[in-house]
């Protein structure tokens, strides 16, 4: 029982961390779409940077 509670707490913690990272990435792309001209190649270059920083 205790092990299942620990795994559940770990899953919730990982999900919360993932949600924070996903929200930060979405907010960054939302801001970038307004502040930068729409260049697909430039947007694709930002994806690895977002993954590294989180």
How many angstroms from the chain centroid is the CA of residue 4?
A: 27
> Rg of the chain over CA atoms, in angstroms?
16
Which contiguous run of DSSP H or E holds residue 18? helix 2-35
* pTM, rounded to two decimals: 0.43
Residue 4, CA distances (Å) to 11, 28, 49 in order? 10, 36, 35
Query: What does the pLDDT look like over 38-51, one tens digit per residue?
Result: 555 555 565 555 55
pLDDT in tens, the chain (54 residues): 678 888 988 888 988 888 888 999 998 888 877 776 655 555 556 555 555 555
């Amino acid at each position: 029982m205790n092990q299942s509670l620990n795994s559940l707490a770990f899953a919730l913690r990982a999900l919360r961390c993932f949600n924070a990272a996903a929200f930060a990435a979405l907010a960054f792309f939302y801001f970038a779409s307004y502040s930068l001209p729409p260049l697909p190649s430039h947007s694709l270059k930002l994806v690895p940077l977002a993954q590294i920083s989180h």
